[in-house]
């Protein structure tokens, strides 16, 4: 099969990927690969908004300090300053594209979320990600120079060192293999530059707010290609995921607490408002503190969930600010104007990822990582609310700018995918069983509270799964389920290895064996060589 050749190959169609594509389209031939539909990534699920200094009483230094505080001493100062200073321009760019943010008296309405000292969250009611993605998808579908490949899943990156060429030169990414899941064949994509914008790895856990696409594809592929990863131990558990047997992965936005929502125990154990017992900021404490407090109270009292109560706000206010949450809860018989919302913590955001610099460049020439796939240094040990969409846009622009100033030739001919020695899988149940086993023990052993023994158990189970999956991968035709499981297991190993190396408690990583923070905060960096 002839290869597809482009100047830039972007893998992922969330805010990071589509922003980069729109920035590059005027000057480059761009391909965007996404393993499902264009709008199926995590960006469209974001409810809260985008943090940006726009109010007169706010400042860049305030936003920087809030980010550094939430990050528990591990944020990179240069990256934080870089992102915060570019936030207003990012908002203006989205407005120019036609994103209709919520306004009040002719100005953007700014809300406040946990960890923020000021109101600075630009939002579109309580469905910001969906509003932004809708506009970007509309633009990208009619933008010349951009070719879209939906239902194409990354199999592996192609690098010069993997090909055995230019071994005396730095490793360079020259393309990727991708499975066309509708045609059931692996295609070859050659590109001068490759951008990984594949999101995080929330599906490695049993309970998550992430979509099914969040399987760590870019992180695992970059690791296999020879790129470093960092801070994978810092998995952010969102404190408030709707607790209902039929409500799959539905998030109750941080903004509900920002607008006065209170966390309480169930009535049968007193209905006590417990967050003031854990932190002077109460419900407005950073996510790691709130999630641990909920986990503590649930275990202490033996309850399945806690309750988030916003019913003291007027109905008109709730309808204006939280129409999506209000409607979704009502589907399950929960009237948030009268009833408290049952919530539990769930895996939400991968703060670590592929090591990338201020231009989004990785260790491998021609390979960029942006958004949740990357470790930019912005989030440190805990991401500040509403900095994630912001990071996507800032680094999409940075990567696009770098690509425009750097010439990477497109390889004339790359080897086709060789599946001549494999057969169709006859035991698909093995994949589904391993998938469930992985997510269950990661939740049990590598969750909100960790111990050395739990991490050892997880590492042992991961080693067994990896051996089984690698044998499966070597002998059978690749499928999307197999590729996702392979990526999840590799990502799980990186999470556990990083957690084992961090012998302290900091931010999102809490260890009973090392309950105190060390005096010197250092990132955990893993190298594949």
3-state DSSP assignment of residue 450: strand
Q: Is 292 a catalytic residue?
A: no
Contact 17, 11 (CB under 8 A): yes
Q: Put residue 366 in one of left, alpha, beta given phi > 0 → left and psi -120 to 50 → alpha.
A: left
Q: Which long-range contacts (CB under 8 A, 24 or more apart) does 147-150 make?
A: 147/6, 147/29, 147/30, 147/31, 147/32, 148/13, 148/31, 148/32, 148/34, 148/38, 149/31, 149/32, 149/33, 149/34, 149/178, 149/180, 150/34, 150/36, 150/37, 150/38
DSSP letter for each residue of 60-125: HHHHHHHHHHHTTT-S-HHHHHHHHHTHHHHHHHHHHHT----EETTEE-EE--TT-SS--EE-ST
> Which is catalytic among the residues 287, 292, 439, 502?
287
Torsion of Cα atoms, 180 then 183 then 189 then 195, to 10°: -20
Q: Could you tell me the CA-to-CA distances from 296 to 286, 292, 305 in Å, in that order?
A: 16, 6, 11
Q: Crossing angle, helix 428-445 and helix 480-501, to 10 degrees?
A: 20
Catalytic residues: 287
């Amino acid at each position: 099969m002839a290869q597809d050749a482009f100047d830039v190959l972007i893998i992922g169609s969330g805010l990071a990927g589509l922003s980069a594509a729109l920035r590059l389209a005027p000057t480059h031939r761009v391909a965007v690969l996404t393993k499902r539909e264009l709008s199926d990534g995590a960006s469209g699920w974001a409810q809260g908004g985008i943090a940006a200094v726009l109010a007169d009483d706010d400042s860049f230094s305030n936003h920087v300090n809030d980010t550094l505080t939430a990050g528990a001493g591990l944020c990179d100062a240069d990256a934080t300053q870089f992102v915060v200073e570019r936030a207003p321009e990012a908002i203006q760019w989205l407005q120019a594209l036609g994103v209709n943010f919520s306004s009040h008296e002719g100005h953007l309405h700014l809300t406040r979320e946990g960890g923020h000292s000021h109101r600075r969250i630009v939002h579109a009611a309580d469905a910001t990600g969906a509003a932004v993605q809708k506009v970007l998808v509309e633009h990208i579908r009619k933008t010349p120079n951009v070719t879209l490949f939906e239902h194409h899943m990354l199999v592996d990156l192609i690098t010069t060192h993997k090909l055995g060429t230019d071994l005396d030169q730095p490793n360079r990414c020259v393309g990727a293999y991708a499975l066309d899941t509708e045609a059931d064949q692996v295609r070859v994509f050659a590109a001068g530059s490759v951008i990984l914008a594949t999101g995080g790895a929330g599906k490695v856990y049993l309970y998550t707010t992430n979509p099914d696409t969040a399987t760590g594809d870019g992180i695992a592929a970059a690791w296999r290609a020879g790129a470093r990863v960092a801070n994978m131990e810092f998995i952010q558990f969102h404190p408030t995921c709707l607790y209902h047997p039929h409500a799959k992965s539905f998030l109750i936005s941080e903004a509900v607490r920002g607008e006065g929502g209170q966390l309480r125990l169930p009535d049968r154990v007193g209905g006590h408002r417990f967050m003031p017992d854990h932190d002077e900021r109460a419900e407005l404490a950073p996510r790691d503190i709130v999630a641990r407090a909920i986990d503590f109270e649930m275990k202490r009292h033996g309850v399945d969930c806690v309750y988030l109560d916003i019913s003291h706000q007027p109905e008109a206010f709730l309808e204006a600010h939280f129409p999506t949450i209000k409607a979704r809860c009502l589907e399950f018989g929960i009237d948030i104007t009268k009833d408290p919302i049952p919530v539990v913590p769930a895996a939400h955001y991968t703060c670590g990822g592929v090591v990338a610099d201020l231009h989004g460049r990785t260790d491998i020439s021609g390979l960029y990582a942006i958004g949740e796939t990357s470790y930019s240094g912005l989030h440190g040990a805990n991401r500040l609310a509403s900095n994630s969409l912001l990071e996507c846009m800032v680094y999409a622009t940075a990567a696009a700018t770098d690509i425009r100033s750097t010439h990477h030739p497109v390889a004339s001919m790359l080897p086709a995918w060789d599946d001549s020695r494999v057969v169709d899988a006859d035991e698909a149940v093995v994949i589904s069983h391993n998938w469930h086993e992985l997510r269950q023990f990661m939740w049990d052993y590598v969750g909100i509270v960790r111990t050395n023994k739990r991490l050892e158990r997880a590492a042992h189970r991961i080693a067994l799964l990896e051996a089984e999956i690698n044998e499966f991968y070597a002998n059978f035709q690749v499928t999307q389920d197999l590729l996702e499981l392979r990526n999840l297991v590799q990502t799980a190993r990186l999470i556990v290895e990083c957690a084992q190396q961090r012998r302290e408690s900091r931010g999102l990583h809490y260890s009973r064996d090392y309950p105190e923070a060390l005096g010197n905060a250092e990132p955990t960096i893993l190298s594949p060589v």
